[in-house]
Each structure stands twice: as structure tokens, then as C-alpha cells.
Amino acid sequence: MSTEKPKVAFYWCASCGGCEEAVIDLAEDILKVVEAVDIVFWPVALDFKKKDVEAMKDGSIAVSFINGAVRLSEQEEMVKLLRQKSGLVVAFGSCSHLGGIPGLGNFWNKETIFRRAYLTTPSTDNPDGTVPLEKTEVDGKELTLPRFYDTVYTLDQVIDVDYYLPGCAPPPDLIMNALQAILEGKLPPKGAVLSPNKSLCDDCKRNESKPEKLTIKEIKRPWEVELDPEKCFLAQGVICMGPATRTGCGERCIEANMPCRGCFGPTDQVIDQGAKFLSSLASILDTDDEKEIEKIVDTIVDPAGTFYRFSLPSSIFRRRRMEDIK
């Protein structure tokens, strides 16, 4: 009988590093993980190289957990390699699952992002206007950088994904449940999001505080209101993405008296999280007057960024039209 432990890989693409921290957040449970599996690739923590992965047999990694969206050619190459070498691929965290915060880059393109980041921010001091180039020569040697794409992609827009672990970042209990299910072979059907398929409102302690007919006349930002810690945020006129967001996070933001931002993405029944929230919001505006509705909606600062904060690349829009970007 083989005593070999299942091989596991972790990889990050366009991400903030929070999902790597989430693995560390397993605390003492990480010892159980290390005991049960062999971590064969984890660039942030262990010194394995791409060539080590290339040398592995196809399908020999039991599962690869990939966090971050795909924004660079290098990330595309690495996730395709890991797909080839892995039995299972899990999209780990909001960016990999839905596009996440890096996905908001889909309101722009490479040229406008580079212009802003390297030339026009108030703190930029770049008199020569230097921007990163894919190829450049230094001391007679050619140096290369990965290609920066105009569009940010979710992991499943680039490779076949078996499961999704939602969250920004996924909480430790969901990670442990997923690992256990993988090790015991007790997984749901392929394509499942490994968190309960109901909305956050269904689990939220503040749900009962909602009046029978919830209506709002104006929309405020959290810092503009002294928030009642027992009362539904929407009933206080503050946007909370709970009605359009999957549960399973443990209501971490709600417990901290902050409204849900939507990082768990939608439930299985919803195609577009932003559109779902917009329809929930429209149903509670306390007026039928078009001008009044316009006035209320105008008080939402950055509506696209609010409703699609985590999900733009996975939405029905995917990105702003390139021809509209100046």
C-alpha cells in the first residue's frame, strides 16, 4: 500500500496576498494540513521553482489552490501548467472566483492604468516617463517582463475549475472543510461553490430587525450614520450587499458593524450579483417618481464599483467597452 501523502499546490496570481494569509490563519490546524498532505509548490512560502512543477507527472498533484485573478501572461502560463499537473483545481478566494478587487481594472485598460500608475498620480516623480516594457536591453542583455493584459480574467475564464472557495479571504473553517472533503473524497458535484447556497440575509442576525415593509428614502455611506449595531443596514439607509451575496463567511463584517461588500459572490440561482442587488435596491426605494429615484440613486458614490466590487469580470458585462476608454 502506498504511504505517499496527497500532493497539494498553492499559487497566487493577481491578488493582494490576503489569501496566502488565510492559509496561515488556519493557526494550529495548519499542522494537521502539513501532516495530511505534501505541499509541493507554494511560491510565497517555499522555494520550489516552475521547472519543479514542469518535471512532475501530469495529474500528480491532488489539488491546486489558486488565488488571484489572471491579469498577466505569466499567470496564464502558470495556471495552465498547474491545471495539467493537477487532479483538482480550486479557485481560492474572490479574485480567482469572480475577478475580485483587481477585476475593477476592467473599467480601464492597460494604457490608462499604466498612465495613471506610472505618470499621473500626485506622488509620481518620473520625469523620463518610464513605464514597464515587455522587453528592454540592459548592458547588452535583453530583459523581459510578462505581458499585462487589458482585461482581468476569473480563473475559470482561463482554465477548467473544479471547485470554488469564496471569500476575501476564505475563512479558515471553509478551507478546512474543503480540505477534509477533498482528502475523504466527499466532494459535491464539480463546479460547486464550497459554501451554503443561500443568501447572507438568511443567516444574518439583523434580518429580524427589518420592518415588514422595508423602504428607504436616501442612501448614506457608513461613516455618515451612527450605525445601530442591531439593525439591518439597509433599514438604516446604508448599502449592504447581503441580499445578493452567498452566506458562509460567518458574517464577519456585520459583526464588526460594517455592511456586507459582497465578497462571497452570488448564490447559484443568480447570474449577475450587481444586477441582483440593483433589483433588490429598486424594490425598496420609497417612491415611484422617476426624478425622485434618480435623485436617490445619484447619492450612491461609484455605483458600478459598489455593486460589482468583487464580481465585474464574472458579470454579464465582464468589462467596460474598450472603445469608450480614453
Question: Interface residues with ligand SF4 (CB under 6 A)?
Answer: 168, 200-201, 204, 206-207, 232-234, 240, 242-243, 245, 249, 251-254, 259-264
- Scanning 185-233, the segments in alpha helix (DSSP H) are 200-203
Q: Least distance (Å) from ligand SF4 to the CB of residue 154?
A: 17
Distance CA 285, CA 134 (A): 50
C-alpha closest to that of 149 among 18, 317, 319: 319
Query: Are 114 and 131 in contact, with CB atoms under 8 Å apart?
Result: yes
Q: Least distance (Å) from ligand SF4 to the CB of residue 250?
A: 7
Considering the complex, state which of residue 110 and residue 198 has its C-beta at the smaller distance from ligand SF4. Answer: 198
Q: Least distance (Å) from ligand SF4 to the CB of residue 235?
A: 7
Q: Least distance (Å) from ligand SF4 to the CB of residue 31?
A: 26
Q: Which residue is nearest to ligand SF4 (CB)?
A: 242
Q: Least distance (Å) from ligand SF4 to the CB of residue 174?
A: 11
Distance CA 300, CA 279 (A): 15
Considering the complex, state which of residue 73 and residue 197 has its C-beta at the smaller distance from ligand SF4. Answer: 197
134 to 109, 148, 223: CA distances (angstroms): 16, 9, 43
Considering the complex, state which of residue 112 and residue 177 has its C-beta at the smaller distance from ligand SF4. Answer: 177
Here the cell at position 174 is: 471553509
Considering the complex, state which of residue 53 and residue 232 has its C-beta at the smaller distance from ligand SF4. Answer: 232
61 to 7, 129, 275: CA distances (angstroms): 5, 44, 38
Considering the complex, state which of residue 105 and residue 242 has its C-beta at the smaller distance from ligand SF4. Answer: 242
Q: Least distance (Å) from ligand SF4 to the CB of residue 262?
A: 6
Here the cell at position 105 is: 481594472
Q: Are strands 135-138 and 86-92 parallel, antiparallel or unpaired?
A: unpaired
Longest dimension (CA), the chain: 73
Considering the complex, state which of residue 61 and residue 168 has its C-beta at the smaller distance from ligand SF4. Answer: 168
Considering the complex, state which of residue 100 and residue 105 has its C-beta at the smaller distance from ligand SF4. Answer: 100
Q: Least distance (Å) from ligand SF4 to the CB of residue 161?
A: 20
Here the cell at position 281 is: 435596491
What residues have CB less than 8 Å from 113, skipping those under 6 apart?
Answer: 105, 148
Distance CA 265, CA 97 (A): 8
